[in-house]
Amino acid sequence: MSKRTRRLWAIGCVALAAFVSTRVEAQDPAPASASDAAATRIARQCNICHGDQFRALERNPHTVLDDAAWQALTGEALTCRNCHGDVAQHMRDAGRGPVFAFRDEPVTERNGRCLGCHSDSHPNFDRSPHALAGLACTSCHQQHGEHATTSLLREPAQLPDPAAQGGTSRVCFECHGEQFAEVQYNEHHRVREGVLECTSCHDPHEPATRTLLGGFKQEQCVECHSDKGGPFVFEHPASRTEGCTACHSPHGSPNRHMLAHQRVAELCFTCHAAVPSFHGGTNLAAPPRFGLDTQCTNCHAAIHGSNFDPFFLR
């Protein structure tokens, strides 16, 4: 094939490709199916009365159900029916007909709607303290709200200082005021600074253990305080029987190290009432050698456990 022939062949190929591309672009888009058209109509009608919810959905994780539908403001797959059920009668009665509104329905039915999609991530929610207390998912979460994360936590109605807690903990405040009061002590876990969240230790969707923590007994604590967890050759029985909360107030305390008692000896005597005789002195007329003002950890320094001494001495 000559050079001139090859050139003509290349020009012809380019022209043919341009012609085909033009024809494809000129074709009408495929008509939407009947179900898509119905979904589009329903979503547009919902938007007439519920425009605020639709605008909030723009940055809502629920839009992942169908991004293309949201862009067209129709929701071909993301119709309101996914959560609110059949809205046909509601629309026929100009908004006065029945609809699943997540307000007056039984809590178990409301939670059942949410768990229809979220059961994989929260399989044990029905045995959690929140569910057993009769709380609905919407007690903490909002379906339509604009939220940067996938948790969709609602804004609490009351909060003394919105900047004092993280996003998750601010919702917990409304019911758990006693714990938030403890966080205000000078010795506290740094929840009010936003360094930690309540969910750093607690799992609100899981059954509670004996200490209401995400792990069993002290296991949740040693995730951060690993040097206190052992295992040790000589274990402190309190930490293995009662856990860290036998001596510490986990949310906050006016005492150093978040201890449950201000004086260390007073804390120790709550378990060790029968102490060796030399701790009380040999002269009954004299004051005791060791009393409530004694700093027991001056000698029993390895109080969380020791690999060298059964009495946790230095």
Encode pLDDT of 152-188 as tens digits.
776 665 555 544 555 678 888 888 889 989 999 999 9
Question: Which of 101, 95, 45 is CA-nearest to residue 73?
Answer: 45
Query: Highest mean pLDDT: which of 2-11, 42-51, 99-108, 251-260?
Result: 251-260
Place of tokens 């253990």: 209
Cβ–Cβ < 8 Å for 201, 220: yes
Residue range(s) defining the domain that contains residue 292 = 227-306
> Is 154 found in the same domain as 234?
no
> Is 253 found in the same domain as 189?
no
Measure the CA–CA gap between 75 and 67, rounded to whole angstroms: 8
Question: Which of 157, 156, 122 is CA-nearest to residue 137?
Answer: 122
As for how many domains the chain has, the answer is 2
Pair of tokens at residue 305: 């456990």
Measure the CA–CA gap between 110 and 132, rounded to whole angstroms: 14
**Reported confidence tier of residue 249, pLDDT bands at 50, 70, 90:** very high
Q: Last residue of a domain, which of 183, 200, 217? A: 200
- Look at residue 53 and tell me if it is in a domain: no
Prior bond of 204 cis (ω within 30°): no
